[in-house]
Amino acid sequence: MAPMRRITPKGDGPADARFNQLTVVRENTDIAKAIGHANSRNARVVQVASFFSLIRSTTPSMTAARVLIEAAQRQMFRSTTGNQAAHYLPGQLRILSSGVANAGLPWSFVQGHQARSRLEYLFADVENLPAAFNMADSAAESRGLCETFRIFEEIIIRDPSPLPKGSANKRLVRRIYDEVWVKGADDAYAAAISQKMLASEVPALQYDDEGNIANLEERGNANWNRENEVGILRRYCETLRTPPPDLSDGKIAEIERLFPL
């Protein structure tokens, strides 16, 4: 029996196949990373809300507090592999309450070391990702994601209902997540997608009479990063359809147990 031979197609076939395969691998990888990054963001937004509700339960004057947002300050690590460190949360919050001259960082309103460290870590946490993710995040943040985050947390910390000390208002956290975060984040992602689609598009595939890709060079020179950013933002939108496990009573109770009475 003759040994099997690998047959290599003639012409530009291998180059085309390699180009298409690399594109598929890259897109599949980015899909998984985008879903994971956005799910982690949603979870951390809820965790911050749980902490804010607990701060409210121990500080009655917070019913008139203001929440401000600014660029992230802390960062767990910096990427050195050509990627970038992308923050999960869309910005650093500060709390301005009555009797306090300057807006303070949220963890400064928490007494216990473990709870303080956990809250600070949420704002410093980053993920090592390709640059397209930071570009997608920045576009969404400038189109309402930061403000949505700020409003969500301000509503939670200004909760007018009396709360037992050391207990979070779980129903309020869940309701405001749906009414404010889901809607506002979806709007911000959609606005970022629209802006990026207007800026640059990868040309659609074109074929010649023999079935070969006729515009391979044009597609290769296109702004694929912009196309990737649109795909990432679309995956972000998809994650808003499923509530994060962190909204459950059990998950919020885990944070309550960290909080000092």
Condensed to tens digits (0 to 9), the pLDDT of residues 128-167 reads: 999 899 999 999 999 999 999 999 999 999 999 988 999 9
- The pLDDT, as a whole number, for residue 20 is 41
Condensed to tens digits (0 to 9), the pLDDT of residues 73-102 reads: 899 988 877 899 999 999 999 999 876 667
HEC per residue, 115-182: HHHHHHHHHHCEEEECHHHHHHHHHHHHHHHHHHHHHHHHHHHCCCCCCCCCCCCHHHHHHHHHHHHH
Domain locations in the chain? 31-258
- The pLDDT, as a whole number, for residue 129 is 92
Confidence of residue 207 (pLDDT cuts 50, 70, 90): confident
Torsion of CA 32, 253, 152, 60, to 10 degrees: -160
pLDDT, average across residues 223-236 = 82
- The pLDDT, as a whole number, for residue 195 is 87
- The pLDDT, as a whole number, for residue 220 is 53
- The pLDDT, as a whole number, for residue 214 is 56
Tokens of 33: 């990373």
Residue 21 pLDDT exceeds 50: no
> Identity (one letter) of the amino acid at 36?
G
